[in-house]
Homo-oligomer: A and B are copies of this chain.
Amino acid sequence: MDIIEILKSRSKDLEPYIVNYLKDGVPDNLMKAVRHYPQAGGKMMRPVVAMVTADAVGGKGKKAAPFGAALELIHNFTLVHDDLMDNDDTRRGFPAVHVKWDMPTAILAGDALFAKAFEILADVDVSDDKLRRLLKLTAQSVWTLAEGQQLDTNFENQPGITVKDYIGMVEKKTSVLFAAAAAGGAIVGGGTEKQVCDMYDYATLLGIAFQLWDDVIGLTGEEKTTGKPIGSDIRNGKRTAIVINALGKGGRGHPLFDELNSILGKADASDEEVRRAIEILDSLGSIEYAKDRAQRYAKCARDKLDCLPESDHKRFLLALADFAVTRKS
């Protein structure tokens, strides 16, 4: 099963919604900024997950498309604001919104995308009690996303962060919108209460597996495949599960740790230094540790799919969990 091909084909169903929702508005510079990321072609994984889970519980995937589109706009809103906060200059090969325009326009473009998502929700074609559930699920997800982003920022200067802390942050920052997509899709599709809960858990575990694997390929992948400089997490001093695991294995004074510590967070570290840091992390077994944890989360995610009847949709969700921890980009 070619996950990428299926994502591409499914996201085609979604494009007209996205384009249509964002076609009206003033002034021109704000509207261009609002459309900048949605038009740059993301993978639309969240709306696709929503549509597939709706199908997988026996409903109509297409009925989940507007809800999925709302989540995609929320995802894009968070990217606009995150890039500004993290001072990231490019996204999907284009200049970030705050770079192409400016800080105020980026804040407003994000806010407008956020607002549009909730306007779309008002028209989702489901019974009213389901609408209230989708509304609450979506709004709570955005609250949680903000918590996750703040935790991530705080961790940079906070000693004693554990792998558990890190996973908890990832659950908020990366998983929550996937979880809303999967659970919301199951709600739209008329799934049982157990299916809704299991889909939520599936996507939560999937999101963690994705992030842990991202951390691994960020060190072991190839720049031309991953699309971002290898070892940028090292130069940024990011406390990923890999780094936390390594630092937990020894103390100050141990030559390996001192060497590793001297490179972590060194913004102008040479390629050779970054290569050496990765070598140390590897020799300590920390990369293998993260790989293993990612695969275990993916396995737990797959187990959550037991509640679904056999179908191509279920097979897609199973394959997505495999893809999360085998992909090279």
Contacts and interface: CB of A to CB of B under 8 A. Distances in A.
Contacts of A4: none
A116 to B, nearest CB: 6
Contacts of A140: 115, 119
A251 to B, nearest CB: 27
Contacts of A139: 115-119, 121-122
A100 interface: no
B111 A142 contact: yes
Interface residues of A, number: 47
Interface stretch (A101-109, A235-243, A253-261): A101-109
Interface string A123-147: 1000011011101101111110111
Contact of A143 (B116, B123, B154): B116
A149 interface: yes
Contacts of A112: 142-143, 146-147
A241 to B, nearest CB: 19
Nearest to A77: B111
A149 B107 CA distance: 11
Contact of A114 (B84, B114, B121, B128): B114
A19 interface: no
Copies in the complex: 2
Interface in A85-113: 85, 103-105, 107-112
Majority secondary structure, A binding face: helix
A79 interface: no
Given A118-B135, A122-B136, A108 B146 contact: yes
Nearest to A133: B122
Interface in A135-194: 135-136, 138-143, 145-147, 149-151, 153-154
Contacts of A154: 27, 29
Contacts of A119: 135-136, 139-140, 143
A25 interface: yes
A62 interface: no
A291 interface: no
A26 interface: yes
B25 A151 contact: no
Contacts of A150: 27, 29-30, 104-105, 108
Contact of A115 (B107, B123, B146): B146
A8 to B, nearest CB: 30
Most buried by B among A81, A110, A150: A150
Interface of A: 25-27, 29-30, 81, 84-85, 103-105, 107-112, 114-119, 121-123, 128-129, 131-133, 135-136, 138-143, 145-147, 149-151, 153-154
Shortest Cβ-Cβ A-B pairs, 3 listed: A128-B128, A115-B142, A119-B139
15 contacts: A26-B151, A27-B154, A29-B150, A81-B107, A85-B104, A105-B150, A107-B110, A115-B143, A115-B146, A116-B139, A118-B135, A118-B142, A119-B135, A122-B133, A128-B128
